[in-house]
Structure 1
Amino acid sequence: TTLIGIIKEGKEVEKIKEGEAKLILLSTPFYSEGGGQIGDRGKIFNEAGCAEVLDTQRIDDEIILHRVRMLKGELEKASRVVAEVDKKRRKAIARAHTATHLLQAALREILGETVKQSGSLVGEDRLRFDFSYSSPSSDEQLKRITSLINEKIRENLSITVKEMSLKEAQEKGAIALFETKYKEKVRVVTIGKFSQEVCGGTHLSSTGEIGILRIISESSIASGIRRIEALVG
């Protein structure tokens, strides 16, 4: 791809030799932070220099900023570069994101369909899921939720991603954060017959790749809002 912009200390520059900057690429394989999922890391390099990508953020539909730290040499605007995602880290994040979908489906099955997502954070082999529910989950309920999720992991359910209109997704019963502004076309992530959600994040190809899920905490963060934190892998 081509390096089309370099921003250092708030100003556009022609090249970077040291320190941190934000790079804009003509096209990028990096996933930018969104939908609760953290941004990709990796490297951007060519024969002249190499930068470590520390974070990836989307400014709008068109612009994705790669926050980098120079490792060696220099990178110049308009030069050709290789954009390389840290695949091991992305896989760890995908494990947690797919597990988050299983968690929401399990919560709705065991606690009831009044459960609605109010927030999430998906990181490397760990997740945080906030949802609407009026009372704490009992130890027995948490055991049942964990057991159901790990059962679905062992079943190695296939995961499919399909693009469709928001209207079609709603008609199919896909869960979405409908206070979110979606585009006319959305991605629907389906996990066997267990889960179907509108989601733009990265996922596995089957649930068996998650390994195992363990809930480490359940707490209240606001009136009528509960938080579950879990580890996977």
Structure 2
Amino acid sequence: MAKPAPRILDVICTKYITPHMCRVTLGGAGLIDFPTDQESAYIKLIFPQGHGTRPLMRTYTISGQREGEIDIDFALHDAEGPASMWARNAKVGEQILVGGPGLKKLINRDADWFLLIGDMTALPAIAVNLAQLPDDARGYAILEISSEADRQNLKKPKNVDIYWVINPTPNSASSPLLEYVKTITWLEGQPAVWAACEFHSMRVLRGYFKFNRSIAKTHLYISSYWKVERTEDQHKIEKQEDAQNLE
């Protein structure tokens, strides 16, 4: 199936959800034939770089969708890239070129309990996953955020507990997410694990779930959404190399 052609979308609204999370709502005529039910799917924000230079593309999750509108949430860091800088300064009426949507990133529902793990870059996708779990689901969500003020009131089943891990300075030498995962009570039955975060943290989590918990590939989604001290383009190359080394 051919990929859908990129479309020009309008900025409908911008707002800060928390101090380090900005939401941009996109819509307009370019969204008329956009498929429905795309929350948790990804899009590509496309930033032209001038004649003869390939455009920059940045990947983001659709965190919300209504008729004629989609929401994109941006985690804001001190070292801003082109997408977060655009989001911080976007004005109503401006336009942006958008590719997609791509595949949804949903946890395997065929499980006895659920474990969702991520930092602020994965929070939009985790929020969608939590909201779409069945009412009788049980498990945990462990979320790394930059400050106490970045907590969000997330829709979830009553038997899924959310734990917030404060980490204002992510680095390659530590993984607060893994350390917290080690403290939870492992429930009985088949778990499904969904995890996305910084590259180094992803790798240690992947090793823990593979070697310490023996999670089957069918019930484990794990990905890195960024890498400390790397651009998205550099991270993409290293992510591909890491995946090849697993084969």
Question: Normalized against structure 1, the TM-score is what?
Answer: 0.29
**Bigger radius of gyration:** 1
Structure with greater strand share of residues: 1
